[in-house]
Chain A
Amino acid sequence: MKKTAIVLMSVSLVFMSGCWDMAEINERIFPYSVGIDLNPDEGERYIVTISYPNIFAIGKNATQEERIYNVSSISSTIYEGIRQVNTRIPYPLYFKHLGTIVIGKTFAEDQESMRKLVDSTNRDFTISKRVRVITAEHMAHDLLKSVPIAVKQEAIEGTLFNMLKGNKKTSRYIPQNLTRFLQEMDMGGVSIMPRAAFHGEDLKIFGGCVFKNFQFVGHLGELQNRAVALMRGNIKETLVVAPFEDICISYSVSSSKAKKQLEINEGDIKITIHVETEGVLREYIYTDEVVEITPDILNEMEKAISKTLEEETKEVIRILQKDFKADGLGIAEYLQKFHPKIWEEVSDDWEGIFPGITIEPVIDAKIRRMGLTG
C-alpha cells in the first residue's frame, strides 16, 4: 500500500512541472495598433508597422524614456510581416488587446490586399473583432511614427484607440469597427471608415473614407460624413450651424432618428429618408431689448436648421450616387430587410441601379430646449 502511494505520488510529479502555455504578463507585448501599407519601393509587397507601449517608461519609477516603440517590417504577406516583427522584439506579441488597425492609403485602394486583411483578422482567434479600423491620409507607417510626437498622447491605452472609443460629442467622424465594417460590406457592398492625419502637432481623425467592394473609392469631408451618419441614423450628438435672418444660430442635436420609405412609381424606385432630430438651441444673439422667442420664431429657426441639413444631405446623396456610385446610405440593407421581393429583382445589378434611383431626404429638426434665457 505504502509503495503504491509512493509510486503514484512520484508519477504525479510529472504533472506539476507547469503548463505549456504559461506566460508571465510582463513577458508579452501588447500592441496598440497595427499599420499596414503597400510598399512604395521595389521589393516585397507590404509594410507592417506595430506600435506598442514600453512598459519601463510608464509609471512613477520609469527607467526608460521612450514611451512608445514602433517596429516595421517589409514582407510579402501581412501575417509574415507580423512574424518578422516578432523576431526583432524581446517578447512575443499578443494581439488580444489590439485597439486599432491603421490602413495606408495605397493599401486601401488595392481590393485584393484589403480582402486578405479582413480575412486574416476575422479568422484570428485572439484579435477582438471590435478592433477599430481607420485609414491614414498617406502612409500608415508615417502616421504611427508621428503618434509619439503628438502633443496630446496617451501611453497606456494608445492615443488612436482613445480617440476612437467612447462617445465623442461629434459626428464628424464615426468610429468603425471590424465587425460592422464587414457587416456593411456584406449587406450592400459599401462601408465607411474614418480618416486620420497628422497636422502640425496634432493627430486628427475626421471625415470618412468610402469603401466599395473592399476598395477605397473616395473621401467624405467632415460635414458630408455627418450627413451620411444622419441618414443612417447613427448620430449621437452633433452641432449644426445654420444661417438665420442675418446671423448664424447653433443648434446641438441630442438625438436623431432616421426612417427610410420605399415608393415605386412605374418601376422607378424612390426612397424617402425621414430624419427627425431633437436638440437644444445653443447660440442666438444677445439683443438690447429682450426678445421673446415665440413659437413662430422657433418654427422659423427649426425650418432654417432643417434647410441647412437638407442641403448638406442632398449634396452627399449626389456625391454618393454620381461620383462614387456607392450606396453608403444603407439602402440595400433596408431593401433586403423590409422589401426582400424587390431586393431580389434589383440585387444582381444593384451597383448599376443605385445611381439612377431617386433619394429624397426629409429633415425635421426640433428645438426642444433653449437654455436659461427666454
Chain B
Amino acid sequence: MEGNKRVSNKQIRAMVVSTIVGVGILSLPNQLAMASGNDGWVSILVAGLLTIGVVVFIGKIFDIYPDKDFFQIGREVLGNGIFSIFLIILFAYFIALVAFLSRSLAELIRAFLLATTPTEVIIITFILCTSYIAREEINIIGRLAYHIYPLILISTAALIIVSIPGLDPTNILPLFQSNVKEVPGGIRTSFFSFVGYEILLFSFFYSEKKDGRLKSAIQGVLIVMLIYVTIFFTTLAQYGLHGLQRQAYPTLSLVKEIDLPGFFVENLDGVAMAIWVLIVFSTMAPSYYSAAKVFSNLLNVKDHSMFILPILPIAYIISLLPQNTVTLTETLGKFLDYSGLIVIVILPVLIYFVGIYKLRRNKK
C-alpha cells in the first residue's frame, strides 16, 4: 500500500504553491498596505524567509527519522500524551481552516457572482465537492496540486501583463519610508499568508526521492514569494498607497480595472472569480485531508476516509458561526493565527530540537 502512495518532488513543489496561495491572495496587498505602507514587500520577503526556515526544520525532522511518518515521529519524540494534545490543536486548526476557507469563499461568491443564492448552499456544495478529493490519499492530492499549479502561475502572469498599460510605476515611491515599529505587524500579516506549507508534514514521508524534496519545497515557497511580491507591486502601482488602503480586495479590483485598447476585454471579474475558486479548492482539499488524517490518527484508525463525512457538518456549522466578514476575520482568523503559530511553527521546531537531543543522548 505504501508503494503506490508516492509523491514526486515536482508534486511537492506544486502542492506547496497551490496550498499556500488561497483566499488571502485577494486581500493581501490591502492588509500589507495597512500594516506597513509602501514597504509591504519587505515584510513579504522576511515572512517568506521565515517560512523557508520552518520548512528546513520540517525537512530535517524527516532526515533524522527517514523511515517514519509524521505521527510516528511525533509520538516517539514527544511521547504519546504531549503529542496528542498537539494533535488536538492541529485538528482544531484544520477544521477552523476549512470553515474559514469555505465561508470566505461563499461571502465573495455571493458578493460578486451569485447575489441571491443562500450562503449555506454555496458552503455546503463547496465542502461536499472538496470531500470527494479529501477522501483520497496524498498522491491524488499531489496530482490535483500539480494540475492547478500552472493555472496559478499563468493567471497571475496574465493578470499582471494585461494590467501593465494602466500602471503608474511612480506610485511605488517613496521606498523605505515606513516606521521601524510597523515592520513586525507587516511580517505577522504576511506570515499568515504563507500558511499552508504544513502539508509538507504529511507529504515529505511519501516523497519518491529523499534528496531533492527539501529543495523542491523551498522552491515552492520562493515561487509564492515571487507571486505575492509582484501582485503587491502591481496593485500598488495601480492604486497608489491611499487607494490600496481603501480596497478590500485589491487583486480582484485590479481585474475590474483592466481596460485594454479596443475594449474587447472588460469586466473580467467573473473569469477571475472562477479561477480563484479553483485556487481556493486546491487550498481546501489538502486542509480537509489533513484534518481527517489527524483525526484518524488520534483515534488510532488507519483509514482517514471514513472521517471525511463526519467532519463535514462540524466544519459547516463553524463556518456559519461568524455574523459577517469582519467577525469572521476577528474570530476564526485570530484563532487560526494563534493555533497556527503553535502547531505549524512551534511544533516542528520543537520536534526537531527534542529529536536531536534524544538522538545525542542515545548515542552517549
Chain A contacts to B: CB under 8 angstroms: 19-21, 96-97, 122, 125, 128-130, 165, 179, 182-183, 186-187, 336-338, 340
Contacts and interface: CB of A to CB of B under 8 A. Distances in A.
B229 to A, nearest CB: 20
B242 A187 contact: yes
Nearest to A182: B243
Interface in B239-268: 239-240, 242-243, 246, 253, 256-257, 259, 263, 266-267
A269 to B, nearest CB: 17
A337 B243 contact: no
A129 B254 CA distance: 10
A341 B171 CA distance: 16
B239 A165 contact: no
A186 B113 CA distance: 30
Closest 7 CB pairs of A and B: A186-B242, A337-B173, A340-B174, A20-B117, A21-B114, A20-B116, A125-B111
Interface of B: 111-118, 121, 170-171, 173-174, 177, 239-240, 242-243, 246, 253, 256-257, 259, 263, 266-267
23 contacts: A20-B114, A20-B117, A21-B113, A96-B267, A122-B246, A125-B112, A128-B256, A128-B266, A129-B253, A129-B256, A130-B256, A130-B259, A179-B239, A179-B243, A182-B243, A186-B240, A186-B243, A337-B170, A337-B171, A338-B173, A338-B174, A340-B174, A340-B177
Contacts, number: 51
Given A129-B257, A183-B240, A186-B243, A21 B117 contact: yes
B257 A179 contact: yes
Nearest to B248: A123
Contacts of B239: 179, 183
Contact of A19 (B117, B242, B257): B117
A337 B172 CA distance: 8
B293 to A, nearest CB: 28
Contacts of B266: 128
Nearest to B117: A20
Nearest to B108: A125
Contacts of A128: 256, 266-267
A130 B112 CA distance: 17
Nearest to B115: A21
B164 to A, nearest CB: 16
A97 B267 CA distance: 8
A365 B121 CA distance: 64
Contacts of B246: 122, 182, 186
Given A128-B256, A179-B239, A19 B114 contact: yes
Contacts of A337: 170-171, 173-174
Given A128-B267, A129-B256, 12 more contacts: A20-B116, A21-B113, A21-B114, A128-B266, A130-B257, A165-B263, A183-B243, A186-B240, A186-B242, A186-B246, A337-B171, A337-B173
A165 B117 CA distance: 35
Nearest to B168: A183
A187 B241 CA distance: 9
Contacts of B113: 21
A347 to B, nearest CB: 12
Most buried by A among B113, B177, B256: B256
